[in-house]
């Protein structure tokens, strides 16, 4: 249920409504926009009579929300959410590019890649320290030692960092090094992990599950937001279909659909979607044209020697070319990069 306050309702009126709802055992999430304050009521709202609250001072209207996702929906917040990471805004006027190696292998590897992508215009350095691999015999990542490398290299280039968290016990150890905690596709419905990240004061990048609907994806974001963490970035990374030529099928249509249904920013990961280097650049261009708020691109200085996902990683020169191409596209959709 959504309670829309009057334009001129003061804090006292808002607190009175929040207090009454809390007294009855409901969780209340407040969204203050440019014109109105909206209160999202979470709980067994079927027991509430909307008329009781419509009569309270400062209340404009009470609306029952039909969608199962309450906090991530447009009904709760009409303005787009802008997630701030250091001096970077994801979901604002700029298309934000996150780039770097799939897996942190060494300081030299990360440094060489970061130097190229930062000079080309990437604002956030990506790199995996914990890798969820299909085979238990594959390289599993460098752990905290890798995170230290990621942080040091990113700082030397004035970049923020993003890296994947796989389980609850990793969170605390990642916080000193990682600006955005990434939840991978395999963990999109790991509700214990999501609930814990909902209590962390750190932006979360939530990838779409391999076979998940958009509604299931937005409901996963509810676990984060219901815990109090509203700094959520959605990431379309391809879904599993009957097609076998590419690793996954990149659902570009999800970008405008999510923008209609939700206020959360959405970026795209064409690297994991395709698994093929020569398909990454055209799909990256298409995602930006479709309205993506950012891109997550894998880049490696020597992808033929990469320990993970070399065939989908761009060479630095390819990434530079892609950024030049994006600078031509973004003005056409009213953005900058």
- Kindly tell me if the per-residue pLDDT of 319 is higher than 70: yes
pLDDT of residue 132: 66
pLDDT of residue 134: 65
Domains delineated in the chain = 2-63 (3.30.70.1140), 83-333 (3.20.20.70)
Structure tokens, 325: 């191409």
- Kindly tell me if the per-residue pLDDT of 265 is higher than 90: yes
User: Distance between CA atoms of 280 and 263, rounded to whole angstroms?
Assistant: 27
pLDDT of residue 42: 86
pLDDT band at residue 50 under the 50/70/90 scheme:
confident
pLDDT band at residue 34 under the 50/70/90 scheme:
confident
pLDDT of residue 35: 80
pLDDT band at residue 49 under the 50/70/90 scheme:
confident
pLDDT of residue 104: 94
> Which of 18-32, 41-55, 162-176, 308-322 is predicted least confidently?
41-55
| Per-residue exposure over 94-125, b if at least 16 CB sit within 10 Å of its own CB, e if not | bbbbbbbbbbbbeeebbbbbbebbbebbbbbb
Q: Which residues contact 35 (CB under 8 A, 6 or more apart)?
A: 7
Per-residue pLDDT, averaged over 72-95, amounts to: 95
Per-residue pLDDT, averaged over 51-59, amounts to: 91
Q: What is the pTM of this model?
A: 0.91
Average pLDDT, the chain: 94
Q: Tell me the residue length of the chain.
A: 337
Q: Which residue has the tokens 């009957």?
A: 242
- Kindly tell me if the per-residue pLDDT of 211 is higher than 80: yes
User: Distance between CA atoms of 207 and 296, rounded to whole angstroms?
Assistant: 11
Q: Residues 153-164: pLDDT tens digits?
A: 999 999 999 999
- Phi and psi dihedrals of 207, rounded to 5? -80, 150
Contact 118, 159 (CB under 8 A): yes
Question: How many Cβ atoms are within 10 Å of 204's Cβ, its own excluded?
Answer: 23
Percent of the chain with pLDDT over 70: 97
pLDDT of residue 169: 95
pLDDT band at residue 110 under the 50/70/90 scheme:
very high
């Amino acid at each position: 249920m959504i309670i829309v306050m009057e334009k001129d309702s003061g804090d006292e009126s808002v607190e009175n409504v929040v207090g009454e709802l809390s007294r009855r055992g409901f969780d209340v999430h407040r969204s203050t926009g440019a014109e109105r304050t909206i209160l999202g009521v979470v709980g067994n709202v079927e027991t509430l009579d909307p008329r009781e609250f419509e009569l309270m001072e400062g209340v404009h209207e009470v609306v029952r929300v039909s969608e199962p996702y309450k906090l991530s929906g447009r009904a709760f917040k009409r303005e787009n959410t802008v997630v701030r990471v250091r001096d970077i805004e994801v979901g604002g006027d700029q298309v934000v590019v996150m780039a770097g190696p799939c897996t942190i292998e060494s300081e030299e590897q990360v440094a060489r890649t970061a130097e190229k992508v930062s000079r080309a215009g990437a604002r956030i350095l990506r790199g995996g320290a914990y890798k969820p691999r299909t085979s238990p015999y594959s390289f599993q990542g460098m752990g905290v030692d890798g995170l230290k490398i990621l942080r040091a290299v990113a700082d030397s280039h004035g970049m923020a960092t993003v890296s994947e968290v796989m389980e609850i016990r990793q969170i605390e150890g990642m916080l000193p090094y990682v600006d955005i905690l990434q939840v991978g596709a395999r963990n999109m419905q790991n509700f214990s992990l999501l609930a814990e990240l909902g209590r962390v004061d750190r932006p979360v990048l939530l990838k779409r599950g391999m076979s998940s609907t958009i509604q299931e994806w937005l409901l996963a974001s509810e676990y984060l937001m219901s815990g109090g963490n509203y700094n959520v970035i959605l990431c379309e990374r391809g879904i599993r279909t009957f097609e076998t030529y590419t690793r996954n099928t990149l659902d570009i249509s999800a970008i405008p659909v999510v923008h209609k249904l939700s206020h959360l920013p959405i970026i795209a990961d064409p690297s994991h979607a395709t698994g093929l280097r020569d398909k990454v650049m055209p799909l990256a261009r298409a995602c930006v044209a479709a309205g993506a708020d950012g891109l997550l691109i894998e880049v490696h200085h020597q992808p033929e020697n990469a320990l993970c996902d070399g065939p989908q990683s761009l060479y630095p020169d390819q990434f530079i070319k892609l950024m030049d191409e994006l600078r031509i596209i973004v003005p056409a959709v009213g953005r900058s990069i």
